[in-house]
Structure 1
Amino acid sequence: MTAPPAGPPIDLRSDTVTRPDARMRDAMAHAEVGDDVLDGDPTMRALEEQVAGLLGQTDALWVPSGSMGNLIALCAHLERGDRFLVPDRAHILDLEVGTAAWLAGGMPRTLPWSAAPGTPSPADIDRAVARGGPYFALRDRLLCLENTHSAAGGTVTDPAQHLLLADAAHAAGLLVHLDGARLWNAAVALDVPPAALAEGADTVQVCLSKGLGAPVGSVLAGSAAFVREARRLRKMLGGGVRQGGVLAAAGLVALERVDRLALDHDHARLLADGLVDRGWKVDPPQTNIVLVSADDPPDTAELLAERGVLTVPTETGVRLVTHRDVSRSDILRAVASFPRPS
């Protein structure tokens, strides 16, 4: 028999399900705004400058989503038919509806996780890059990295390994784009500044609605010349945001909350340890993503939903993501909702 829910559903599908709290809504309501397309929006500009500084980049541009930010970077870096290298199962490859090929015209080549889950090695890059050949051979132009790597379970790449990869790419004549949708999580987990994880990247995308609680928005950072082109590309994609300061104000509040991601990581470990105690096989989480093995992922997710815990089925089990809107008591109730494996 399915145990009845003991309270409202616990939504662990993603750290994007959070809702802006009263302080964030108040900041949005009272934001100073301007027409960002015509004259610039002061609150938007303040957010972009702050994120650029945090990432060690020259300039930055607010975009509605991380997917748009990644796409703009691909469009700026690639010409049609160019190949880009990317770790296997990266978000930019599997979960952005093929825009890398459809709009950016890029041809992907996946790299294995040789160095660590979600992380290739410099040797992988060196082997993958095509050198020379006739005019009709593939031309490699870009390395895309992801930190944390979502599909690998929120795994982190430390500054030293990241710089080795960036250096290997540059030595091979490639540019480097970093999909840092959860770069804040990696920085907190490693106790390093975000800029230490972006060193050597030509462009970086970071998300404000994953974990930090903003209702929408990411920021794309790079050189001043890149951001000028990125603004043009954002407009081409329909991304003129007008009085965007209303949304940027939420992002500024979100940035104040980076340090509290450590609590999400603590909750992820509490969740993982509790499920192991109940007999489940769980990958030890490095940040806020918990991967649980299951023989029938869809049925497992459905059973858990009936018990009041919302998860996402994967190829090998279910994924649970901790975030600011779940408490320690929610985590303990989620653990208790898992049946003991037969």
Structure 2
Amino acid sequence: MDAIRYDFRSDTVTRPTEGMRAAMAAADVGDDVFGDDPTVNRLEQRMAGLLGKDAALFVPSGTMSNLLGLMSHCGRGDEFIAGQKAHLYLNEAGGAAVLGSIQPQPIAHLADGTMALEEIEAAIKPDDSHYARTRVIALENTFGGRVLPVSYMTAVAEIAARHGLGLHLDGARAFNATIALGMDISTFVEPFDTVSICLSKGLGAPVGSVLIGRQDLIDTARRHRKMLGGGMRQAGLLAAAGLYALDHHVARLADDHRRARRLAEGLARHEALTVSVPDTNIIWVTVAQEAAEGFDRLLEENGIGVMGRYGSQRWVTHLDISDEAVDTALTLVDQHFA
């Protein structure tokens, strides 16, 4: 591919801003494995307070955060319920099975990204030695950029409570959801025992996620983090980027959502493109078969980076995508289909 000028592939491609770099350089640090890094401690306390939970754990990645969440709920041979296209089932290399010895029970998604409540409940195993023990239900919100209804999450939480199960949220882009809903994040995550939030997606930090939840579960996750090799030392340099992001990059997610809507509306002008209406910052585009090769070549030759996934293109707006980037992309597409 030619050099990417405008990178719509993911919100993980952002680079730290000058202000974030300065905060990282100035960070007070210690040894986090010993619990001595003041900046990591401050980030964990800040996240726990924001979400209204007992405790939090700073980890290198969202994949590790989700895995630690599942491992805090489950032992070897236990089971988690999740959607067939959920990131922690489909896109995390089978880590729950390989590293946690946890069996997944996938459920098909409905057209709106939810799972049928009756199918979730039917998948919960009875207390029978023939079956893996169901321990936790995992939801993802946002899901493919959609904001799933809070009422749906509440209904799943009621199923989990009725059966004595834990409830985990892959909230990698939870702040995108709360900005779209105009909702406080503590209210949004209230039903969940554990929540995983990425700092390195829409919030623009270079590295890191945080697992937040009930004290006993976070204590278990902290021990497992060490076992998985996720114990970092002077990690305050990275935690400082997360603190800066919380102070400066949450409210501005509304700009990403605005740009995504404008981009989607512009792309949808063309009959060859079937475009999803974005709730947040992710747009899905299906290109008509006869136009696909030429459209891919147009983007590549002009340095427009997009990601192909599940038979569609994924366009993502983020901190490093400006109005100019959206304008340039739309002008190229308009000229191509003129």
Q: TM bucket by the smaller chain?
A: over 0.9
2:257 equivalent to 1:265: yes
Match of 2:313, as an amino acid?
V
2:1 equivalent to 1:10: no
Of 187-196 and 122-131, the range deviating more from structure 2: 122-131
1:108-147 residue pairs with structure 2 within 5 A?
108-114=104-110, 117-133=112-128, 135-147=129-141
Give percent identity, aligned residues only: 45
Structure 1, residues 267-324: CA drift from partner, whole Å, max 9, x if none?
0000000001133210111100000012459845454122221001122321000001
SS at match of 2:100: coil
| TM-superposed deviation, 1:16 | 0.6
Q: Distance in 1 between matches of 2:300 and 2:37?
A: 43
Contact kept, 8 Å, 1:202 with 1:223, in 2: the verdict is yes
SS at match of 2:81: strand
Q: Distance in 2 between matches of 1:217 and 1:39?
A: 17
Q: Cα distance 1:126–1:60, how it changes in 2: closer, same or farther (>3 A)?
A: same
2:299 equivalent to 1:308: no
1:226-245 residue pairs with structure 2 within 5 A?
226-245=217-236
| TM-superposed deviation, 1:247 | 0.6
Aligned to 1:330: 325
| TM-superposed deviation, 1:147 | 0.6
Of 330-339 and 136-145, the range deviating more from structure 2: 330-339
SS at match of 1:149: coil
Between structures 1 and 2, the one with greater helix share: 2
Match of 1:141, as an amino acid?
R
Structure 1, residues 42-68: CA drift from partner, whole Å, max 9, x if none?
111111111111112110010000000
Match of 2:16, as an amino acid?
P
Aligned to 1:149: 143
Q: Which of 184, 192, 215 matches 2:183?
A: 192
SS at match of 1:163: helix
2:73 equivalent to 1:77: yes
Aligned to 2:213: 222
Contact kept, 8 Å, 1:158 with 1:190, in 2: the verdict is no
Q: Cα distance 1:130–1:265, how it changes in 2: closer, same or farther (>3 A)?
A: same
SS at match of 1:240: coil
SS at match of 2:195: strand
TM superposition score normalised by structure 1: 0.92
> Structure 2: which 5+ runs fail to align?
none
Q: Which of 18, 23, 34 matches 1:22?
A: 18
Moved over 3 A (4+): 295-303, 339-342
Aligned to 2:155: 164
Match of 2:157, as an amino acid?
A
| TM-superposed deviation, 1:112 | 2.7
2:276 equivalent to 1:283: yes
Aligned to 2:33: 37
SS at match of 1:148: coil
Of 78-87 and 21-30, the range deviating more from structure 2: 78-87
Q: Cα distance 1:298–1:146, how it changes in 2: closer, same or farther (>3 A)?
A: farther
Contact kept, 8 Å, 2:84 with 2:109, in 1: the verdict is yes
Contact kept, 8 Å, 2:200 with 2:209, in 1: the verdict is yes
TM superposition score normalised by structure 2: 0.93
Q: Which of 95, 100, 106 matches 2:102?
A: 106
RMSD in angstroms over aligned alpha carbons? Answer: 1.9
Q: Distance in 2 between matches of 1:301 and 1:179?
A: 32
Q: Distance in 2 between matches of 1:211 and 1:132?
A: 41
Aligned to 1:248: 239
Q: Distance in 2 between matches of 1:195 and 1:157?
A: 16
| TM-superposed deviation, 1:201 | 0.7
Q: Distance in 2 between matches of 1:252 and 1:298?
A: 42
Q: Cα distance 1:13–1:178, how it changes in 2: closer, same or farther (>3 A)?
A: same
Q: Cα distance 1:298–1:32, how it changes in 2: closer, same or farther (>3 A)?
A: farther
Contact kept, 8 Å, 2:73 with 2:217, in 1: the verdict is no
The number of residue pairs the alignment matches comes to: 332
Match of 2:246, as an amino acid?
L
Aligned to 1:213: 204
SS at match of 2:11: coil
Contact kept, 8 Å, 2:85 with 2:109, in 1: the verdict is no
Q: Distance in 2 between matches of 1:259 and 1:93?
A: 30
Of 200-209 and 297-306, the range deviating more from structure 2: 297-306
Contact kept, 8 Å, 1:62 with 1:220, in 2: the verdict is yes
SS at match of 2:20: helix
> Structure 1: which 5+ runs fail to align?
none
